[in-house]
């Protein structure tokens, strides 16, 4: 490999150094100088060119100990794992009770106000005279003072910024033992000191307290309306010692997929440090080399790939990932290497005028395919992040994918997630909406803090920008909404960024200056959105951008049957609470099934719900909709899950109806708050902390199926004159539509049946389309609207006791392709018949449960005591003459399948 003249002269200069000569003096010291004499027989003047050594990375993950720094009799104890945090280490020594059990959270609050210290020792590696040694701290939470061999080498105050420190001059020589000590101050107390330091800022927030706004630490540690207050600290991400002469500090890409989808260009960039002169870029797919090029260090290279294998969201195609490797070379020797996986896709956020409605669309298009983004919001999967395994991240994202969801939104009060999370999204085809880490408050903006936030944004964009799953960055969660709620100064038409810093809403500078500048510079192909929600005249404008629809549960506490009136172009938050699995409740009760607090209104179960007013709100939506009782616990939990399932399915069904095709994308997304929990709790999650799906998970899965049929019923009143209260005609109609999310037009028949809810007798069965019914691809289509069939009205079988089911059938062979059962509401008014022949039979091959009954049964849940038994559907409405088949995994010959349903108790 040739070198430039500059490199040659550098080599020549190096020959003056003793350690680059072949000296056969058998001397123990490597500092021998040229002035030492030697006999001709023992001294060779054959100069040996300096060979650059490869970069080495040595994890500093052994021998760590910790103790409370501000307690005199505290002694060092070994950590329980690494990376780690103080709660995990205290738990490993049983020095604190599990804060997830009972009310133990209260007993561990002192930890967040103490000072903690971690230390370890490690031997010095060999560091050549041309090399340097760097300690890389991937994440320190949060106010850390790092001391190496008695010298302070780093002070941090931002949990989200990885730090690198050159320690070449600070390491012990000749393999000596180094001592690394990290002291973590109380983020809570430091936060309050900063609040006091800036009294002129208009401090205020929802959830937690104002001290969190001053600290660049994950905000949910202060507690949220679904999570505990557990202010932990510690080395939460890896620490490594690197030794190198040259290295690749970053590898990134500019990817452009042509509109034709027939060609893609991939421009590869590698930042390097040191004298190594060449970089080789290799692109491979499934282990086969696609392209390769050697360039001078510091140069980029553009590859053109014809007929690329494109990355698609789940269900719309495959998720091929190309591996791009950059290898740093010198004299033909590999010095450093880094690999990243990329997906080739063309992703756009389309905001354009709509036909017949105000505002603009807000939908994501991937490889020319508009996507209705049904999905979920994501919070951290544990309060103690270092114990979330890579496998657990995959299990969570797999739940999302298997639940027919297309998008997950990383919420702004958590963390820039671990690589394993995004890797799972890349591999499983889940689109990611990525918030920056600001949420529900009025953040300050003093100069040093802005500098820290700029670094935070840039470092994390660099870590995330290669992931094809990420299709949007958003500046914050609900901070504009908070600003509106307390009337902070926010004049949208004022575009003078510097002036924003002088207002009582200075964080606008973060969301509309610092963050978009960072995105434009580092990831220009991904759309930046100033906040969530954002758009239109204010954050509640349903015609532009996204909205958070909390007028069911919060706000005006609307009926969930009216979600069609609460629609927006993209609803990025909405939700309803439900209790978790009884197994989960038994896990957090100190005495499990024998606990005296094992009833819904107990103080311990109440403690495991952090939402303000949750008792009133859960009770309101239960009492409005169904007959229920708090005992037994199992049936009460079931009723809350049925209520949540009905509520969320209503939202998906009614909003997806507004996905009406090109130019009529009136609603393009619905992200339920939330998919997951960070501890065992009653919350809005549709799967609990232990990844146990609540019943809403399955109703959402059905609504987001490739093909679904929707139905709603409306009561129409027609007074015979403008004064009468008596002479009024009342008609109840059903409206039926089909939602085809596939990429092919489908031709079907729509069969409608009806039954008397009290006797189970069928009262109607008709195919409602005369001609073949075409459901155009990737949109919802109206099918029919007609009065609820009432052939037995004279016998009292009115619409109010008539169950109506709609089926989409294949015109080729009559197969059922989709079904939906619509009930008179509220359900509490119904005189539900008790089934005498409700069956849930496990097939001989243990793969299917067949559910049937002789009367209409609302919300049949199949259950198993064995957690290994997983049902692929659940909470099904059963009508006479039909067998509903539910796939099951993990069943054995000994598996017992039980059932539960509305009106059972």
Contact between 137 and 199 (Cβ < 8 Å): no
**Which one of the listed residues 478, 512, 646, 703 is annotated catalytic?**
478
Q: How far is CA 147 from the centre of its chain?
A: 35
| Helix (H) or strand (E) segment spanning residue 582 | helix 582-588
Query: Using the 8-state DSSP alphabet, how is residue 567 labeled?
Result: -
Residue 388, number of CB atoms within 10 A of its CB: 18
Contact between 893 and 856 (Cβ < 8 Å): no
898-900 β-sheet, strand order: 876-878, 857-863, 898-900
Angle among Cα 278, 283, 285 to the nearest 5 degrees reads: 160
Contact between 377 and 786 (Cβ < 8 Å): no
- CA 20 vs CA 11, 15, 26, 551, 827: distances in Å: 10, 6, 15, 74, 86
Beta bridge partners of 180: 120, 148
Alpha carbon dihedral 436, 253, 304, 430, in 10-degree steps, equals: -40
Q: Which residue has the tokens 């001397």?
A: 27
Contact between 602 and 878 (Cβ < 8 Å): no
For residue 800, give the 3-state DSSP assignment: helix
Question: Would strands 746-756 and 802-810 be described as parallel, antiparallel, or unpaired?
Answer: antiparallel
Phi/psi of residue 435, nearest 5 degrees: -80, 150
| Nearest in space to 901 (alpha carbons), one of 520, 653, 628 | 628
CA–CA gap between residue 645 and residue 422 (Å, rounded): 28
| Nearest in space to 860 (alpha carbons), one of 839, 845, 831 | 839
For residue 614, give the 3-state DSSP assignment: helix
- CA 321 vs CA 135, 287, 292, 318, 465: distances in Å: 31, 11, 17, 9, 14
Question: Would strands 116-123 and 151-156 be described as parallel, antiparallel, or unpaired?
Answer: unpaired
CA–CA gap between residue 32 and residue 436 (Å, rounded): 55
Look up residue 242 and give its two tokens: 């690197």
**Is 478 one of the catalytic residues?**
yes
Contact between 858 and 901 (Cβ < 8 Å): yes
CA–CA gap between residue 56 and residue 97 (Å, rounded): 41
Residues labelled as active-site residues: 478
């Amino acid at each position: 490999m040739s070198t430039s003249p500059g490199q040659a002269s550098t080599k020549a200069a190096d020959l003056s150094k003793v350690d680059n000569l072949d000296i056969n003096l058998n001397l123990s010291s490597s500092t021998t100088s040229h002035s030492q004499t030697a006999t001709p027989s023992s001294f060779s003047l054959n100069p040996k060119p300096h060979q650059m050594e490869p970069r080495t990375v040595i994890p500093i993950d052994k021998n760590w100990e910790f103790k409370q720094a501000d307690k005199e009799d505290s002694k060092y104890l070994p950590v329980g794992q690494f990376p780690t945090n103080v709660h995990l280490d205290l738990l490993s020594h049983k020095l604190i009770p599990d804060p997830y059990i009972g009310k133990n959270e209260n007993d561990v609050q002192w930890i967040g106000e103490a000072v903690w210290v971690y230390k370890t020792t490690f031997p010095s590696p060999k560091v050549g005279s041309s090399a340097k040694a760097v300690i890389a701290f991937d994440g320190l939470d949060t106010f850390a003072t790092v001391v190496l061999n008695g010298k302070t080498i780093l002070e941090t105050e931002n949990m989200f910024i990885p730090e690198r420190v050159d320690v070449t001059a600070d390491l012990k020589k000749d393999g000596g033992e180094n001592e690394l000590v990290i002291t973590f101050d109380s983020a809570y107390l430091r936060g309050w000191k900063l609040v006091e330091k800036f009294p002129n800022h208009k401090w205020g927030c929802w959830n937690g307290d104002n001290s969190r706004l001053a600290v660049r630490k994950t905000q949910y540690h202060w507690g949220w309306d679904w999570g505990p207050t557990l202010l932990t600290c510690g080395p939460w991400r890896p620490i490594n010692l690197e030794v190198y002469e040259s290295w690749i500090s970053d590898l990134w890409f500019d990817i452009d997929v042509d509109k034709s989808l027939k060609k893609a260009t991939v421009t590869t960039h590698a930042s390097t440090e040191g004298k190594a002169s060449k970089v080789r870029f290799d692109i491979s797919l499934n282990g086969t080399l696609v392209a390769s090029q050697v360039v001078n260090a510091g140069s980029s290279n553009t590859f053109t790939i014809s007929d690329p294998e494109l990355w698609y969201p789940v269900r719309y195609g495959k998720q091929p990932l190309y591996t791009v490797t950059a290898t740093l070379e010198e004299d033909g020797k590999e010095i450093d290497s880094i690999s990243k996986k990329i997906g080739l896709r063309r992703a756009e956020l389309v905001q354009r005028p709509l036909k017949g409605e105000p505002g603009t669309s807000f939908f994501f298009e991937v490889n020319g395919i508009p996507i209705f983004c049904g999905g979920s919001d994501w919070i951290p999967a544990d309060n103690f992040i270092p114990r979330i395994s890579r496998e657990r991240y995959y299990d969570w994202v797999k739940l999302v994918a298997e639940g027919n969801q297309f998008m997950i939104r990383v919420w702004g009060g958590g963390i820039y997630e671990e690589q394993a999370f995004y890797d799972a999204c890349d591999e499983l085809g889940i689109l990611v909406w990525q918030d920056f880490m600001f949420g529900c408050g009025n953040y300050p903006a003093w100069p040093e803090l802005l500098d820290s936030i700029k670094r935070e944004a840039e470092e994390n964009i660099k870590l995330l920008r290669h992931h094809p799953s990420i299709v949007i960055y958003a500046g914050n969660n609900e901070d504009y909404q908070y600003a509106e709620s307390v009337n902070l100064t926010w004049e949208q038409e004022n575009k003078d960024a510097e002036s924003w810093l002088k207002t009582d809403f200075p964080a606008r500078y973060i969301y509309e200056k610092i963050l978009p500048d960072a995105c434009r510079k580092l990831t220009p192909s991904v759309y930046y959105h100033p906040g969530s929600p954002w758009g239109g005249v204010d954050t509640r404008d349903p015609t532009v951008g996204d909205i958070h629809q909390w007028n069911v549960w919060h706000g005006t506490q609307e009926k969930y049957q009216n979600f069609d009136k609460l629609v927006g172009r993209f609803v990025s938050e909405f939700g309803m609470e439900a209790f978790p699995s009884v197994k989960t409740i038994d896990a957090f009760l100190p005495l499990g099934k024998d606990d005296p607090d094992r009833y819904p209104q107990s103080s311990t179960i109440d403690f495991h719900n952090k939402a303000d007013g949750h008792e009133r709100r859960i009770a309101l939506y239960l009492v409005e909709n169904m007959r229920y009782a708090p005992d037994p616990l199992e049936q009460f939990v079931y009723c809350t899950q049925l209520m949540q399932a009905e509520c969320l399915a209503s939202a998906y069904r009614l909003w997806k109806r507004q996905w009406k095709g090109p130019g009529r994308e009136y609603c393009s997304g619905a992200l339920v708050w939330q998919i997951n929990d960070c501890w065992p709790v009653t919350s809005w999650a549709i799967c609990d902390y232990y990844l146990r799906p609540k019943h809403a998970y399955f109703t959402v899965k059905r609504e987001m199926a490739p093909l679904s049929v929707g139905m709603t019923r409306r009561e129409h009143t027609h007074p015979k004159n403008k004064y009468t209260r008596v002479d009024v005609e009342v008609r109840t109609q059903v409206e039926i539509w089909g939602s085809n999310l596939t990429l092919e037009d489908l031709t079907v028949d729509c069969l409608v049946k009806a039954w008397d809810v009290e006797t189970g007798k069928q009262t109607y069965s008709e195919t409602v389309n005369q001609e073949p019914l075409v459901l155009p691809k990737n949109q919802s289509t109206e099918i029919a609207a007609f009065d609820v069939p009432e052939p037995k009205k004279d016998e009292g079988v009115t619409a109010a006791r008539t169950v109506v089911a709609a089926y989409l059938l294949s015109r080729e062979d009559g197969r059922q392709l989709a079904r939906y059962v619509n009930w008179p509401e509220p359900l509490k008014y119904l005189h539900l018949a008790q089934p005498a022949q409700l069956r849930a039979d496990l097939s001989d091959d243990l793969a299917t449960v067949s559910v049937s009954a002789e009367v209409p049964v609302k919300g049949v849940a199949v259950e198993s005591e064995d957690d290994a038994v997983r049902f692929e559907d659940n909470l099904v409405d059963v009508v006479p003459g039909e067998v509903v088949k539910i796939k099951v995994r993990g069943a054995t010959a000994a598996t017992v399948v039980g059932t539960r349903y509305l009106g059972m108790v």
